[in-house]
Structure 1
């Protein structure tokens, strides 16, 4: 029997009609169940079990069609055919033997006709497909997930992640939104201060929701938690008004939000004094988590002033470098002089503006405040180490903060930066970068906030001798607008594998999609990288392009453009022209260390050793606090050009000990250091903080 005949006979025997009844009924059942499982209080995993039953039941149903609808008629037909053979008067036993041969016997199955053979062939195929589908569902929902639900395997008790969701405001008063935010903060601080687990805050969930939206990936908060962040417990709550009283309640759910582990007794207080409710709720919740009735300290030593706390909720309205941002912090501190968070942000504000003296003063003030909170103490130690240039201690303290909240993308990115640029540990980047498995689901080209994480990852791969890995990860960035940090990584990597055409293509993209100043900066960067690769001809190509662009400009050059021109002449070995421009720049800013050191190097190359030495001798008068090795590194560059290895290494050690960072363009990435990078003493400088 061929396929066409088999299909025709299936129609005649209403096989497809019976199968369609099962399919349609299953579809209707799934649709009804998807609407009804929640009102009946069933867990989400129930839908998975229903789907498994329906898929597994399909081949069984197909067999039942044969067993009760098709087999009787097939058996009767076979018997009729058998009777005809028996009545054959010729008595020829050959016909009877043909009948026996036609009946092929398998264990438990008698094939009465070609139709039955074909039917059971398709039944076997359906069975295989069903088994495969069931295996996929089981693997996705029970094997890969640590906590599939109440009907599944035992829970993973080692999962100490605790997600705290935003508390829902059911008061209809938007002014009370801040109560929910404060309750969440207070609970988070209590959990972290008492080392009860790793916290996933609403901010972290929002970060992931933002990047997932940019990636066009479903971003429902519950899905982000259960599919990506995977906490062991989830705290959810809400609050409302009852006869003028504020009532706050919360529950502790399992990691899949299938099961309520504990309901916390609601707390009540006057709506004008929400801190009373929040403190009571925190104590009850922490007691439930630890099963101990104790009082706990939190991130803040005492609850902050309510008005000051409300004020701090407006931080995101302003850029962190603006005067408005600083005014907000000062107002919060004026309302509550014991409020730690605005003091911390104010210190960071001055540090980021490079007003290190002011930041240091604030760090000293916080250090002398007799802080009892371990997390506060660690943060103050972190900022103190950063301000002092003690990179090893800074990295150590940041790792403690990172371990408190590793899913925070800002913590993750900052730890990568310190590992790579502060202590030169590129081998540590992978474990930090890969801490976020969610990143595999993000369209990175739509995620501006991810850029510096990617930059650190790519530069680490290049430092470890894996440029191909960086290219594979970020190749799509070469043809898009902006993302200049990652374009730098791509150009660095492609130069190391000598793919010059790709470097040219990226530079053309920058020129076409960006501004002229950016293209000029990248020309100098690419030229220096080619000098590091000892490719003089291609370095000169980009230096001459840059020089031509500057000389063709009709308007008077800005200070930045003059600076670019001076460096271009310097790396073209045209030291006389470079010296003249550096001299004019010194007249504008006589205390710029780079202008002085490069002027001295130009003079040395021109044979004016006495003038060069005098300049470098005078540079020591510019020493001041918070320079982080700038003077010593400038002197090291001069001695590198001069060829004095001992003084080069001495000044490099002084520079790195004072906090000089391993930024792109410095140390092993500095053209002037190229002749010395294989020296053991130079490698010791790179490993100074190890």
Structure 2
């Protein structure tokens, strides 16, 4: 390792020279190519790579010189570090590893020497040769030639030359965390073989034996990270990071003392004899619970809402505890819909667990016996394939079915508490049955994205029970999705005044919606992040990704989407997941991964023409003209393809080619778009069709035609500010400065609520078209402050392209972040 001065950029850098043995095994071309890939790792906890090359047969790579010391130096001075500091640094390292693993890069040599401390944070160094080593290992080069790692920290499978994935880094990080806490690595020995033998035994002194003040949750997290078999470890560095952050939080009081205080011991003990002995679970990873919709076995369909009501009331109670990860009712309802459609032979408990990512599953059923109803429920550990316990059956009058819910929730939460050794909260009076009936109908419609009937049902639920706040929250979602922002804001104000009646999860959704309406992207992002942390497999995680993308943070958006499975849960069969994932990859320049995601989307949605758009963007960015022609032919040949969809596809290709500096190649695609939009059929003779024709005409230089179309559109719909901005830009291009200035001033002065910066954005485009770059910069900066969201069109906008090189465009465009 050499300290050097980068003369071109006037900065100090570190140059690392590869061991000649590795250099011979890897080869110069592969090394340089793979260093280039590794150089894309841009993360706050990873030391970036600047350059690489070969001089006199020696391979080297260049990285920034990091002021400070490495972790080894700190351990030599302090031996044992404060627990809070250890957990914070460990979580940061895990975050960096999770990012690298998502790119297919395993570090293979996590140790104190490769962890640099700068300004109180830890950075991972030396990602330089990991991927090159991996590839070389697959080309008839023996593992002995390429053993990368340090015996005290490498995993058993790495020491044995086995196939590696991110879990080997999890093991190494576990060793480092252990050493930070105790002053010594968990496994020692005089030779590498002796160290490996100890690791394979799986025996080492627990951290609490050496340092009793360490929380038990930390001990459990380390035990899992240091498991001999990779399958027994955390599945990812991200999961390890989550467990460390949970372990860092102070624990609440013990359960049974609380139960005694509120008189719920009886409820907790009211379980049938089949309940197994309580298991004290101290894992740092909290269990995830899903409450299935209770089956109606009464023979009377009028009791169907009771099954939803029971599930939602128990779910809401568990969410209030904050002690377990609870699958939201909406996610459980969506899963139930998919499972009903499949109606396979799989055990329903296992199927629900698989669909929602839960390990514990609450199921139940409703029976009728003359004039009484019987509600029965049980808790199963789907992962272990065993029944945890069942609550004592609850009888209630058929005319007052809601009376059973309070007992049901108290007993189920007591059963969960005894099983998990966690706290619960006191049960409250449930809403009226009539209110829940309406709420159930609303949720069914909401899942179908049928917002009109959903809204009517939610408002009916609120009218039936004015203490029931949750339907109003969902009503606000309906108004938001229908772009009726003023009414959504009014409804949210009512909900906010009664926020204490919402669960913690729903309060985060309330805060998210309020921040979205206010155009406060940072607050919206924080709120929906908290909701996603409480329910990682729910739609909250998707919404976090969407907000992150709109806030010009494509990598967090990509990472969040990667945590969701497109095969189960709310993302199953949902095209927007793939569209957002490919968009996030696109703006990061990850066009190979983008193309893979786009093609998977088209495979899953073969009859949806919009599924061709992500692939078209990726191919255009990669300049794959032949494949673009094949894609165009396939889309145009679809029986269900209409002119507007085909025109949109062609316009998308043209815009991307323009953005990637293929302006001459873009024109034929704009011509195709124009012809498709100009067919004059009933599909294109709509606002959407005329808008497409106007934009294509403008790109082809048909400015007068585009202007006339834009004027007509703006006159027909005054709410579409993009029409107004479009007309203003064209007025400038046609030399009508007076008209352009008139529209610019009109937009700049527009202070209506809930426009989220769009008037200033459109005014900024007109100013740019007029050549007034200073005024354009001011207006666009104002738009961003007011919450104007990032759009894919930013980097391919021919007007904004005039601002390239200016700071404002870098702020607006996620490409430059």
Q: Answer yes or no: same fold by TM over 0.5.
A: yes
In structure 1, what is the equivalent of residue 402 of structure 2?
275
Deviations 1:393-425 (A, max 9, x none): 1121112222222223x333322222212x121
1:467 aligns with 2:467: no
Provide the secondary structure at the position in 2 that maps to 1:290. Answer: helix
Where 1:253 maps in the other structure, the secondary structure is: strand
Q: Secondary structure at the match of 1:371?
A: helix
* Aligned equivalent of 2:484, options 348, 355, 362: 355
Q: Distance in 2 between matches of 1:279 and 1:644?
A: 66
**Cα–Cα, structure 1 residues 534 and 279, in superposed 2: closer, same or farther, change >3 Å?**
same
CA–CA distance in structure 2, aligned partners of residues 218 and 642 of structure 1: 66
CA distance in 1 between partners of 2:464 and 2:353 (Å): 40
CA distances 1:230-289 after superposition (whole Å, capped 9, x unpaired): 544332333434574433333333343533333433333323233332211211222333
- 1:524–1:571 distance in 2 versus 1, CA, 3 Å: same
Which of these residues, 534, 543, 549, is aligned with residue 661 of structure 2?
Answer: 534
Aligned partner of residue 671 in structure 1, secondary structure: coil
Who is 2:619 aligned against?
494
- Match for residue 382 of structure 1? 512
Equivalence for 1:613:
741
Aligned counterpart, 2:693: 565
SS at match of 1:434: helix
Deviating more after overlay: 242-251 vs 562-571: 242-251
1:366 equivalent in alignment to 2:495 = yes
**Displacement of 1:655:** 1.1
Q: Is the 8 A contact 1:230 1:255 kept in 2?
A: no
1:458 counterpart = 2:582: yes
Q: 1:202 to 1:651 in 2, by over 3 A?
A: closer
- 1:638 is matched with 766
Give the alignment partner of residue 331 of structure 1, picking from 457, 460, 465. 460
1:169–1:240 CA contact under 8 A, matched in 2:
yes
> Contact 2:353–2:361 at 8 Å: present in 1 too?
no
Q: Tell me how far apart the structure 2 counterparts of residues 541 and 508 of structure 1 sit (CA, whole Å).
A: 15
- Is 1:400 the counterpart of 2:530? The answer is yes
Q: Give 1:641 deviation, angstroms.
A: 2.3
1:187-245 Cα offsets, whole Å, 9 max, x none, are 11111111121123676456457668999997543333565755443323334345744
Structure ranking higher in helix proportion? 1
Residues 1:391 and 1:441: Cα distance change in structure 2 (over 3 Å): closer
Shift of 1:176: 2.9
What are the within-5 Å matches in structure 2 for residues 9-158 of structure 1?
A: 144=231, 157=283, 158=285
Query: 1:177 is matched with which residue: 262, 284, 304?
Result: 304
What is the CA-CA distance between 1:498 and the residue it aligns to? 0.6
Verify the 8 A CA contact 1:633 1:655 in the aligned structure 2.
yes
SS in 2 for 1:507: helix
Q: Closer, same or farther in 2 for the Cα pair 1:531/1:342, shift >3 Å?
A: same
Instruction: Tell me the equivalent position of 1:411.
Output: 540
Q: Do 1:586 and 1:595's aligned partners in 2 also have CA atoms closer than 8 Å?
A: yes
Give 3-state SS (helix, strand or coil) of 1:260's partner.
strand
Counterparts in 2 of 1:214 and 1:498: CA distance versus 1, 3 Å:
farther
Could you tell which deviates more after superposition, 213-222 or 234-243? 213-222
Partner Cα distance (1:231, 1:518) in 2 = 39
**Which of 636, 641, 664 is residue 511 of structure 1 equivalent to?**
636
TM-score (norm 1): 0.69
- Deviation larger for 608-617 or 497-506: 608-617
Shift of 1:360: 1.0
Corresponding residue number in structure 2 for 1:160 = 287
Quick one: structure 1 residues 656 and 340, their matched pair in 2 at CA, closer, same or farther if it must change by over 3 Å?
same
Separation in 1, partners of 2:458, 2:534: 25
Deviation at 1:653, TM superposition (A): 1.8
1:434 aligns with 2:562: yes
Contact kept? 1:209, 1:220, Cα under 8 Å: no
Task: Structure 1 unaligned segments of length 5 or more: list them.
Answer: 1-141
- Measured after TM superposition, the shift of residue 427 of structure 1 is 0.7
- 1:591: Cα distance to partner? 6.4
Separation of aligned partners in 2, 1:164 and 1:370: 23
What is the aligned partner in structure 1 of residue 412 from structure 2? 285
Cα drift, residue 532 of structure 1: 1.1
Question: Against the structure 1 CA distance between its residues 677 and 220, is the aligned structure 2 distance closer, same or farther, given a 3 Å change threshold?
Answer: farther
Measured in 2, the distance between the counterparts of 1:253 and 1:630 equals: 51
Alpha carbons of structure 1 residues 350 and 526: separation in structure 2 relative to 1, 3 Å: same
Equivalence for 2:268: none
Change (3 A) 1:293 1:431: closer
The answer to whether the 8 Å contact 1:249/1:265 transfers is: yes
Change (3 A) 1:281 1:143: farther
In the TM superposition, 1:231-270 aligns within 5 A as 231-241=358-368, 244-256=371-383, 258-270=385-397
Contact 2:617 2:652 in 1 (8 A): no
Q: Which moved more, 1:517-526 or 1:206-215?
A: 206-215
Shift of the 540–280 alpha-carbon distance from structure 1 to 2, 3 Å rule, reads same
Q: 1:580 to 1:229 in 2, by over 3 A?
A: closer
Larger radius of gyration: 1
**TM-aligned CA deviation for residue 535 of structure 1:** 1.5
* DSSP 3-state at the match of 1:286: helix
Q: Is the 8 A contact 1:603 1:612 kept in 2?
A: yes
Across the aligned residues of Structure 1 and Structure 2, the Cα RMSD in angstroms comes to 3.7
1:627 aligned to which of 735, 755, 775: 755
What is the CA–CA distance in structure 1 between the aligned matches of 2:711 and 2:292, rounded to whole Å? 60
Aligned to 2:247: none
| 2:310 counterpart of 1:194 | no
| Whole-Å separation in 2 of the counterparts to 1:173 and 1:557 | 50
Alignment-derived partner of residue 8 in structure 1: none
1:31-81 deviations in whole A, cap 9, x for unaligned?
xxxxxxxxxxxxxxxxxxxxxxxxxxxxxxxxxxxxxxxxxxxxxxxxxxx
TM-score, L = length of structure 2:
0.59
Task: Tell me which of the two structures has the higher relative contact order, counting C-alpha pairs closer than 8 angstroms and 6 or more residues apart.
Answer: 1
Query: Which SS does the other structure have where 2:391 is aligned?
Result: strand
Q: Is the 8 A contact 1:287 1:293 kept in 2?
A: no
Q: Classify the secondary structure of the residue corresponding to 1:656.
A: helix
Matched residue of 1:265: which SS?
coil
Residue 552 (structure 2) aligns with: 424
1:418-445 Cα offsets, whole Å, 9 max, x none, are: 2212x121111333223235x4689x9x
Shift of the 672–243 alpha-carbon distance from structure 1 to 2, 3 Å rule, reads same
